Amino acid sequence: MTSEPHPTFLTIPLELRLEIYKHLLTIHAIPPEYYCYHGIPTYPHASNPPPPPPSPRPELLHPQILQTNRRVNSEATPVLYALNTFTLTLDAHAHQPQPCLELPLLGPRDCYSYWYCYPPVTSPHLAAQIRHWRLHLALDDHEPFLPIDSSSSSSRRGPTQPQPQPQPPLHVPRSTITTTTTSAASSAPAPATATATTPTAQTPAQLLTNATSVTIFLRRTLGALLGGASSVDALRPLEPVRGVRQVIIEPTALGGGAVLEGFGGYIAWLVGVMGAAEGERVGEKYMPRDEIERRRLEGWGGWVR
């Protein structure tokens, strides 16, 4: 009499496994009872007694599952990169020009919070799987965009500061992943690793084209806000991007609407071309309404009123 084989994680339907991967590998909202960085809890009414100190904040991401075996790694890696929003800072002061996944450290979003960045994505193959982007651009930065390249992390000007290295990493090298005993797992394709031997640089058009969402936060340095030169040169590398389902361009909290003043026509045009289907509006350039707008876009002499 033969006994039935014990069920395992890989014997449940793929649809259920994908739901488990989504729960473990996507960032969810922070519970509101957690503190801000200064230790003051937020609660609706000041007369209410403060809640008891919370237990240690639960992990918002569980990349440990990628170490289970190669089959799980192959199934779960696309979930991690396609469903989370990755941040890319494209300015001269960015210490990490590669995209990274940011996690909130403390507190709900309505109060000051720290953000923790996992090691940046240096593999072009993995960066191509990212569907949701958050870009930070400085309008007064005239340095060219650096493509995604594993060798370019320290090629920006300015000192390179060490970044915290959380454990475990977002992507697990194949050498550390065990193989399963089932034939299906053995035949599953091995996932690409972040240690590609010959990485290929990628431009903004290659990274962002056909993305699901792109949110661009624009800022100016204090000198630009006080009248220094500022232009849309930082946005021009995004002009060839096409096929983005949702494009949002807005200022950062610092400076408010003044960040976008004088650039409204160009920004509206850029949102339109980035949302156009791939292959449409190729080579189209923005035509300023008058000479004053042209000078503003080029950063001629700072503000021109």
- 73-93 pLDDT tens trace: 999 999 999 999 998 877 655
Q: Could you give the 3-state DSSP secondary structure of residue 82? A: helix
What is the domain extent for residue 179? Answer: 9-153+163-298
Predicted local distance difference test score (pLDDT) of residue 164: 41
Decide if 3 is inside a domain.
no
Least confident range of 115-129, 197-211, 264-278: 197-211
- By DSSP bridging, strand 102-104 and strand 115-117 are antiparallel
Decide if 1 is inside a domain.
no
Least confident range of 55-59, 98-102, 247-251: 55-59
What's the rounded Cα separation, in Å, for the pair 155 and 143? 12
Instruction: Tell me how far apart the 2 most distant CA atoms of the chain are, in Å.
Output: 90
Decide if 2 is inside a domain.
no
What's the rounded Cα separation, in Å, for the pair 149 and 83? 22
Predicted local distance difference test score (pLDDT) of residue 186: 35
Predicted local distance difference test score (pLDDT) of residue 25: 94
pLDDT at 36 over 60: no
Angle CA 91–92–97, to nearest 5: 60
Q: Is 302 left (phi over 0), alpha (psi -120 to 50) or beta?
A: left
Predicted local distance difference test score (pLDDT) of residue 232: 85
As given in the structure block, the two tokens for residue 48 are 């209410």
Please give the mean pLDDT across all residues of the chain: 70
Predicted local distance difference test score (pLDDT) of residue 281: 94
As given in the structure block, the two tokens for residue 47 are 């007369």
- What are the residues facing 219 on neighbouring strands? 138
Count the domains in the chain: 1
pLDDT at 9 over 80: yes
Decide if 4 is inside a domain.
no
More confident residue, 57 or 220: 220
Binned at pLDDT 50, 70 and 90, residue 254 comes out as low
Decide if 61 is inside a domain.
yes
Decide if 31 is inside a domain.
yes
Decide if 305 is inside a domain.
no
What's the rounded Cα separation, in Å, for the pair 144 and 235? 10
Contact 296, 262 (CB under 8 A): yes
